[in-house]
Amino acid sequence: MGKAGLPLASVVADSGLEVIGIDVDERRCEMINEGVNPIPEEAGLDELIRKHGGKTLIATPRYEDARECTNFIIIVPLFIDEGHRPDYSILEGAFRNVGKILKRGDLVVLETTVPPTTTETIVREWLEGESDLLMGDFYLAYSPERIMTGYSISRLRGFPKIIGGVDEMSGTRAFELYEKFIPNLQKVSSSRTAEFVKIIEGSYRDVNIALANEIFKIAEELEIDFYEARSYANHEYCHIHLPSTGVGGHCIPVYPWFLINEMEKREKFSLAELQRTSRKINDEMAGHWAEKIILGALKIDRPLSQVKICLKGITYRKGVKGIYHSRNLALAKLLARKELRVGVYDDLFSKEEIESLGLNFMNPGDADLVFDCFELSFSQ
């Protein structure tokens, strides 16, 4: 019942199906069952939780409460470790718990974004291992979430959603279930294809953000206004993205590694070279902006170590209170390590919250130089 699961569960319940929603957080389950939306920033969710919470949508921390369900949808986070390798522990836990209550004829669908072949290999093994059933006794499919924090409900109701089975029958069964609550549903040939589709969307975005960052830096070097050039370059055949301090969050900076790592494992060392280069370019943008900030601070008539620098915006995306792989956070830490007098300000964070991240708080009004991490603009 997280950011991704709760909107989905609400939409399923709203289609007239009965839903048991599982979450480890007992307090969160109580809220949902009382009709209170724990994710108020998600547009349209209040209404659905009020309508279905505690009625056709019942939240619980216990997998056993879902024993009578015949369809299981898993949508838990998959993080990557410091070596950019997926950490399957949360995913494995969820599937092993489902495996324990799995019955003959049941359908299991994974929605978490995973490396291609995950569903047909390790997910299948976890389920078979716990259930004493074999593939064919149960059905297994994959349908990647394509939601966006804040817009999940409208995405589920308007955006195309794809689904593919580990085998033919699984694909058919999963399609029949999902078409009950997803208006724009498309069946693809396999779970592997569905997994791949989601990853390459992320790779497209990451590579194109890297290209925007590269062109932005070249425009700076040539003293050309990037934004003016972009506005005339973009048309039907050209979609140059926007520059940034890098790419943060749970999605775009993570997914390319699934392909990069898989190709390395297969000893195809250069097969994901463009995606690897893009990752590097985007991650290095923090260094680019650090240099620009220092050059800005040098122009202030005071010893550099005394110039008060405020970074405005610490989250990975404007308006979303999340810092997973936030490059704005990386930028703040990079400057702090240089022993500059750096403080951070963010509308969504209190002074205490910022200090708990190991950073100094600073009001923009108290700074000699303010850098807006989202607007990429300086003010004094």
Binding stretches for a copy of itself (CB under 8 A): 116-117, 159-160, 162, 186, 188-190, 192-194, 196-197, 200-201, 203-205, 207-208, 210-211, 214-215, 217-219, 221-225, 228-230, 232-233, 235, 237-240, 259, 262-263, 266, 268, 271-275, 277-278, 281
Residue indicated by tokens 């619980």: 60
Q: 329 near 261, Cβ under 8 Å?
A: no
- Rounded to the nearest whole angstrom, what is the least distance from the CB of residue 319 to a copy of itself in the complex? 18
Q: Which of 187, 198, 308, 312 is catalytic?
A: 198
For residue 35, what are its two tokens?
């009709």
- Dist CA 373 CA 310 (whole Å): 10
For residue 57, what are its two tokens?
């949508």
- Rounded to the nearest whole angstrom, what is the least distance from the CB of residue 44 to a copy of itself in the complex? 20
Q: What is the DSSP secondary-structure string of 198-209?
A: HHHHHHHHHHHH
- Rounded to the nearest whole angstrom, what is the least distance from the CB of residue 80 to a copy of itself in the complex? 18
Among 21, 22, 23, 24, smallest CA distance to 11 is for 21
- The one-letter amino acid code at 333 reads K
CA 380, 293, 362 angle in degrees (round to 5)? 55
Q: Decide if 198 is catalytic.
A: yes
- Rounded to the nearest whole angstrom, what is the least distance from the CB of residue 128 to a copy of itself in the complex? 22
- Rounded to the nearest whole angstrom, what is the least distance from the CB of residue 232 to a copy of itself in the complex? 5
Of 75 and 185, the one with the shorter C-beta distance to a copy of itself is 185
CB neighbours of 192 closer than 8 A, spacing ≥ 6? 116, 117, 119, 120, 142, 164
Of 270 and 380, the one with the shorter C-beta distance to a copy of itself is 270
Sign of the Cα torsion 203, 206, 210, 212 reads positive
Q: Decide if 251 is catalytic.
A: yes
Of 228 and 347, the one with the shorter C-beta distance to a copy of itself is 228
CB neighbours of 208 closer than 8 A, spacing ≥ 6? 239, 240, 241
Q: Which of 29, 69, 251, 310 is catalytic?
A: 251
First to last CA, the chain: 44
Phi, psi of 345 (to 5 degrees): -135, 140
Of 215 and 314, the one with the shorter C-beta distance to a copy of itself is 215
- Rounded to the nearest whole angstrom, what is the least distance from the CB of residue 184 to a copy of itself in the complex? 10
Of 72 and 216, the one with the shorter C-beta distance to a copy of itself is 216
Phi, psi of 125 (to 5 degrees): -60, -40
Q: What is the DSSP secondary-structure string of 153-191?
A: HHHHHHS-EEEEESSHHHHHHHHHHHTTT-SSEEE-S-H
Can you list the pairs that 203-207 forms with residues at least 24 positions away whose Cβ atoms lie under 8 Å?
203/255, 203/256, 203/259, 203/275, 203/278, 205/241, 205/247, 205/252, 206/247, 206/252, 206/253, 206/255, 206/256, 206/275, 206/278, 206/279, 206/282, 207/256, 207/274, 207/275, 207/278
- Rounded to the nearest whole angstrom, what is the least distance from the CB of residue 298 to a copy of itself in the complex? 20
- Rounded to the nearest whole angstrom, what is the least distance from the CB of residue 237 to a copy of itself in the complex? 7
Of 102 and 290, the one with the shorter C-beta distance to a copy of itself is 290
Q: 3 near 149, Cβ under 8 Å?
A: yes
Instruction: Kindly list the catalytic residues.
Output: 198, 251
